[in-house]
A and B are shown apart, each in its own frame.
Chain A
Amino acid sequence: MLRFIGRRLLVAIPTLLLVITLAFFMMRAAPGGPFDMDRKLSPQIERNVRARYGLDRPLGVQYLNYLAGVLRGDLGPSLKYKDKSVLQILQENAPVSLRLGGLAIGLASVTGVSLGVLAAARQNGGVDHLVMGVAVLGVCIPTFVTGPLLVLAFASKLGWLPGGGWNDGAWRNLVLPVVVLALPQVAVISRLTRAGMVEALRANYIRTARAKGLPEHRVIVRHALRAALLPLVSYLGPACAGLLTGSLVVERIFNLPGLGKFFVISALQRDYTVVMGMVIVYAGLILVLNLLADLLYAALDPRVRLT
């Protein structure tokens, strides 16, 4: 087990290094720089500013310096936001994205699993067809369509909920973004749950449980659901990657001060260090979550041995 974790972490190092290297050189290949503004700086001042951030040194040296900084846990200063370090910016914005993502995955799991179980319990019945039809739509309709449409309906026309803004994370402001972010995941999770349940309900131990005279809800919840949930665990990694991508759009639609919104703006402004910091955080998050999913899987399924 420990050896497995160690080996996975060892593989993560070259992956992260590749991520950092690619992002670093791509960012630097972009035309323009962080100090291009409408009002042109005098050459003297621009030279001083560049020297202050070490941008006047050869690219290779800058790269090595940056790597050394990352090893020390120092992601450098922001080039656009004066007197703020990248770490500060991440600390200010990450909670918004994490809260959004956490709530969305929670909502998606609960709703998705419930719908999947319902569909499987009434296999080929009306509920089943309805749930699976909705699931197909949910997979196909992207967040940037559901987002504006829900805002149009619930904020502009009905006026029940605010159409955007963070407002210190008040629940009324959270409802629409969380629902929009969760919808595609609800669709996938309900499909996976249904498939797992249908297979589990055919197993012999289910027949045994029924023969013992257990009530149907107990058979489903205690016996079938346990086995059916296993494939969901391995979906955890892809689900989080999907949430990250979705958050880019959702934070923009609802004007939320999260990481996703910052990423695109910073990339357009050539704020090299902030972009790099976010790429590292996202890549790290995906690596860690995939590792957690594998560990959880092994913990739940005694047939899997990690070596």
Chain B
Amino acid sequence: MRRLALGSPRAAQVLEQAARGRSLWDDARRRLMRNKAAVAAMAVLGLLALAALVGPLLVGFGYDEVRKADVWLPPLAGGHLLGSDALGRDLLARLLMGLRVSLAIGLVATAVSLAIGVAWGATAGFAGGRTDEAMMRLVDVLYSLPFIFFVILLMVTFGSNLVLMFLAIGAVEWLTMSRIVRGQTLALKQKEFVEAARAAGLTHAAIIRRHIVPNLLGPVVVYATLTVPAVILAESFLSFLGLGVQPPMASLGGLIADGAQQMELAPWLLIFPSATMIVTLVSFNFIGDGLRDAIDPKDR
């Protein structure tokens, strides 16, 4: 290596670079970008999300536009790229709308589970002792409930409404998140910087918010990525049973249920929604796996 004269502008630059170093997140991003499956999945998912966002405006048919002349047209016939259904509605328009609804439910319900799970787990882990014991015992009990049945009862009780579905699914998914967060918090609270914060006179709430939660981000991000497909699955499951999103609004599960009933006459109504669902779920899983490999320092 060529020696640099101390005090030269070039030396100062090198020193500054070395001092700045590479943050944990820079490292993680670099590792993630090297993972071909994860990068491909991100590209696919980006395209799907874009299509779901602006696609319905470009299709030229409304998702609930009934055309008596266009009943059960196969793909490419009559200007319907993916064909049409029993009411003459354009499948592409419905598919894009359904994707939009499913993705939205996935993101919102994940956000709900994230908020509850992180708050619950961080509080339990930080408080420790009796409080921790009681809070996690409740999580254990809730874990052993047959939750899907309660979600079904909930949908039956209050009718299928979207906000309630967000809340119900989010409320189910927070349990694992709270366990992960609690484990991490237990380890974090032994660290010197928490002790320093305590010595500086910060309140417990402030320590949790400013010091514990930011350091939990890694595993939380990974688990959240894996929660989104789980939520999309749960919503589709409910819609398939006829308890989720109600027609004429579309969701991936509802479209698959519709298609399954008419698959002998119009197989395209089953095949395209199924394929979209599979591609979406596989992409999320690849991204989740990639993120885990990138963020988990054990594999470095």
Contacts and interface: CB of A to CB of B under 8 A. Distances in A.
Nearest to A290: B144
B116 to A, nearest CB: 18
Interface in B223-275: 229, 233, 236-237, 240-243, 253, 256-257, 259-260, 263-264, 267, 270-271, 274
B153 A19 contact: no
A142 B145 contact: no
Interface residues of A, number: 44
Could you tell me the dominant secondary structure of chain A's interface residues? helix
A149 B270 CA distance: 8
Interface residues of B, number: 39
Contacts of B150: 22-23, 26
B145 A15 contact: yes
B153 A23 contact: yes
B270 A283 contact: no
A241 to B, nearest CB: 7
Contact of B146 (A29, A253, A283): A283
Contacts of B229: 140
Among A149, A248, A253, A290, the one with the most B-chain Cβ atoms within 10 Å of its Cβ is: A149
Nearest to B155: A267
Contacts of A244: 146, 148
B141 A142 contact: no
Given A249-B237, A287-B144, A145 B256 contact: yes
Interface string B204-228: 0000000000000000000000000
B282 A137 contact: yes
Interface in A117-149: 136-137, 139-142, 144-145, 147-149
A264 B241 contact: yes
Contacts of A156: 263-264
B281 A144 contact: no
A252 interface: yes
A139 B257 CA distance: 20
Contacts of A14: 141
B108 interface: no
B170 to A, nearest CB: 18
A29 B144 contact: no
Contacts of B145: 15, 18-19, 22, 283
B157 A29 contact: yes
Nearest to B260: A148
A279 B144 CA distance: 12
Given A142-B233, A144-B240, A136 B285 contact: yes
B146 A19 contact: yes
A268 interface: yes
A294 B1 CA distance: 61
A245 interface: yes
A197 B296 CA distance: 23
A19 B159 CA distance: 21
Interface in A22-67: 22-23, 26-27, 29-31
A87 B46 CA distance: 52
Contacts of B33: none
A5 B236 CA distance: 38
A151 interface: yes
Among A139, A140, A147, A287, the one with the most B-chain Cβ atoms within 10 Å of its Cβ is: A140
A267 B144 CA distance: 21
B257 A144 contact: yes
B153 A275 contact: yes
B156 interface: yes
Contact of A30 (B157, B274, B281): B157
B101 interface: no
A137 B277 CA distance: 12
Contacts of A145: 256, 274, 277-278
B154 A26 contact: yes
A104 B237 CA distance: 20
A18 B157 contact: no
A286 interface: yes
Nearest to B233: A142
A144 B152 contact: no
The list of the 3 closest CB pairs from A to B, nearest first, reads: A148-B260, A30-B157, A140-B281
7 contacts: A18-B145, A19-B146, A139-B285, A141-B281, A148-B260, A283-B145, A290-B144
